[in-house]
Amino acid sequence: MPALDEILENFEFLDDWEDKYKYVIELGRAMPAFPDDQRVNDYKVEGCVSQVWLVKTITQEEGRKLLRYQGDSDAHIVKGLVALVLSAFSGKTAQDILEFDTDALFKKIGLQEHLTPQRSNGLKAMVNRIKRDAKEVLGI
């Protein structure tokens, strides 16, 4: 998976939204395989029209707890959105996750005005789930 900075740079080079949608789909295809045994309700993200699964693990590195995620969806474009969200949040501390401005990210890419309301709601549901996980780690 490319880093978020690389994804943002690539978006800047794409002129029309058809190419940007194709790129989002490519991001989804580049994600590591998601284990079938993790496609269960415990990992399902509520609020998404398509099926979306997010699996959180917490690792300890240099005295910091990092939240790492695996994810998947049954829809190509949504799987790409999962990849985008994971590139923004996976491997970050809970505090970094809570401080990250996702609205600014989506505005910079132009996602807000190019997604259906259902996909926008699903994207928000993914972000909310990850931010809720971060709050749990911090005990707030």
What positions carry a catalytic annotation?
48
- Token output for 84: 């985008």
- Token output for 115: 């997604």
Residue among 94, 136, 100, 119 nearest 28 (CA): 119
Identify the three-state secondary structure at position 67. strand
Q: Which phi and psi angles does 48 have, rounded to 5°? A: -105, 135
Query: CA distances (Å), 8 to each of 18, 67, 77, in order?
Result: 16, 22, 17
